[in-house]
Structure 1
């Protein structure tokens, strides 16, 4: 599906677009089949593209029709971007968005045709992300498989049939890395209040969270089992979990936080 004559056009080579691009090149996609459109690439990205012999344009060139048009820009500038890329869309083009809050109907109304809406997350930058995705009826099985392959370079892809679920996916995994980073901040601060030097508390909290995440990544056991494995009866972990798992503990806070994120995702969609 992707070729020099039917290229993968990436609009926006920032953090997410750049991560995807790196994954594509490392997976063996022909650089001649990729076109990047970005008026403000960093010097490092410009050198990366030149070294890989990937075509870079500051604006949508005349006469170019995309096989897949990936829009990796912030939702706040999507109106401006979409207005400038309409000429890239042909009868066979699939529009692929990674922008939070921009619905399939938004792109159908402005660009028409086949549309895939996705929500990746920032660990995609190290190949450890996860992406939620939904396609409209115009996306063929072949195109969906091709896009799944493209997205998978940064981690697993979870497809859903109901676009309304994208708001909940945004709340759980799209925004989720920030919750984990804040958890590290909270653990470190609590450690400081227990008497640890602040820098030591941060090193301990950071290594604990990243190590626990890697253990969960490699283990076949579920999160609850892993938690139970750490928890000795009447021990220190049990004492802490009695607070965290109380009726007014962490679960109701997460319920409220994720509802707020999902609600905001729906608001952004209009």
Structure 2
């Protein structure tokens, strides 16, 4: 199956704990310069830097060119939660995306589905776009449990989120075994099969129209060699790219290749 022509493509990156304030600003300035000629009618470009870099990032990256997000978010607008970042704080510095449930948060830092769900509901309450990350481990994949894991993470993470909240929902499928420096990317066929499961689950939860409208992104060792093949899959609306996007020139090349493939 091939990508529907004319469909908006979602392309973004999470810089994790690698770029500070100066590096993030330099990166975004170059990325905006390189991609400024591309129509945003066909492209939703986003970057999720460190919390400390967000305010300066917004100053050097116009919202009409790049959307910004936080790499995590607390589950309350304010309160006695030492070290947490609230949705109001994200909005105050110009972010409008909250990345939630990333595998490193789940498997390294111990976040549960219930915690992720509270954050998703809070993001919706404050009008943020929730980028919900889900994915199976290598062991779950080997046991044939990938689809069950994805359906559970979706249903648990979205519990209580109505159709209105789903209008500001993005879902990133990031298999845990594909993420990181030594990750192995999923084949485009495997990624498409999992995205099909995600799409069918969303239509069960929200109905055909709303379920089909939620952007689905693949993340996990996306690189210049596999990006085009992935975006051509029917249920892959975008790519959530790691280190291959941390150089603005390389990211620009991927963006242009992907847009050409999606339109061709």
Q: TM-score, normalised by structure 1?
A: 0.28
Higher relative contact order (CA 8 A, sep 6+): 2
Q: Whose helix proportion is higher, 1 or 2?
A: 1
Q: TM-score, normalised by structure 2?
A: 0.29
* Structure with bigger gyration radius: 1
